[in-house]
Amino acid sequence: MPYEGLNLNGQTALVTGSGRGIGAALAVGLAQAGADVAVSDRPDRLDLAKTTKSKVEAEGVKSRAYSLDVLDISRIPKAIDQVVQDFGRLDILVNNAGIRIPKPALEVTEEDWDATIDINLKGVFFCAQAAGRYMVEQGYGRIINLGSQLSVTASRGRSSYCASKFGVAGITKVMAVEWAPHGVTVNAIGPGPTSTPGMLAADARTADEVQADLDAHLPLGRRMDPEEMVGAVIYLASKSSAGTTGHLLLVDGGWTAI
């Protein structure tokens, strides 16, 4: 009999910030594993989310695109309710939406700090809370938060980002402990440097400076592709990970091994 542990047939996933980058790759990857996928992004990127929706549907599963800005906390429960209404259930939440504002600590403004924490940490918490309420009642669920290799280590120019991603690792553990008795696992993945539009746009360094940094920190010797995050998320979204909760799964190219 073939191993069915990574099969997501009959399940519904919601991926936030899935208009492009890692989020889009994860939405398509979950569809390839058999899940119906709700994609979402903020209103000004809804067209990108609709493009991802088309790619998901091309895998032969159901998809819908939703306008969801995780800064609008009051909108989050309504979006979760709408997904459940449209799909009949919600089994998997991937909290992907996030930003980075790289600046030396002496130059970080209150606006920079608030924007990073509000999206990367506050938004993740309240999306997980809204989905968690439904999953706890359902008696089953998989929540996967997007942390970083900077959830466990530091990097120059990343004070607010590190604070937010350390926080993601912390709330992941708390929710895992609270919701485990209800059949809901809560985990995180920690991507290392990944070639996404957001990362590339935020990087003002020269190509030589970037490569020198990669050579110093990454045994892999290169940035990763968004698709390289898919396997970790499918595992954590599947029944194979039933015994795994409160865990940060690093997909960091060896960054933290040095």
Query: What does the pLDDT average to over 49-53?
Result: 98
d(CA 127, CA 184): 15
- Angle ∠(53,28,226) on CA atoms, nearest 5: 120
- pLDDT tens readout for residues 72-105: 999 999 999 999 999 999 999 999 999 999 999 9
Is the pLDDT assigned to residue 206 strictly greater than 90?
no
Counting every residue written for the chain, the total comes to 258
Provide the total of helices (H) and of strands (E) in the chain, helices listed first: 9, 7
With a CB cutoff of 8 Å and minimum separation 6, the contacts of 131 are 14, 80, 90, 93, 141, 143
Specify the pTM.
0.94
State the Rg of the chain over Cα: 17
207 or 177: which leads in pLDDT: 177
The dihedrals phi and psi of 66, each to the nearest 5 degrees, come to: -125, 145
Query: What does the pLDDT average to over 204-217?
Result: 76
- Any idea which residue has 């599947």 for tokens? 238
161 has catalytic annotation? yes
Token readout for 235 is 């595992």
- pLDDT tens readout for residues 28-44: 999 999 999 999 999 99
- pLDDT tens readout for residues 139-173: 999 999 999 999 999 999 999 999 999 999 999 99
d(CA 172, CA 147): 9
pLDDT recorded at residue 211:
75
**Percentage of residues in the chain having pLDDT higher than 90:** 86
**How many Cα atoms within 13 Å fall on the side-chain side of residue 198?**
19
Which is catalytic among the residues 66, 134, 161, 235? 161
pLDDT recorded at residue 198:
64
Token readout for 155 is 């990097």
Token readout for 126 is 């309240």
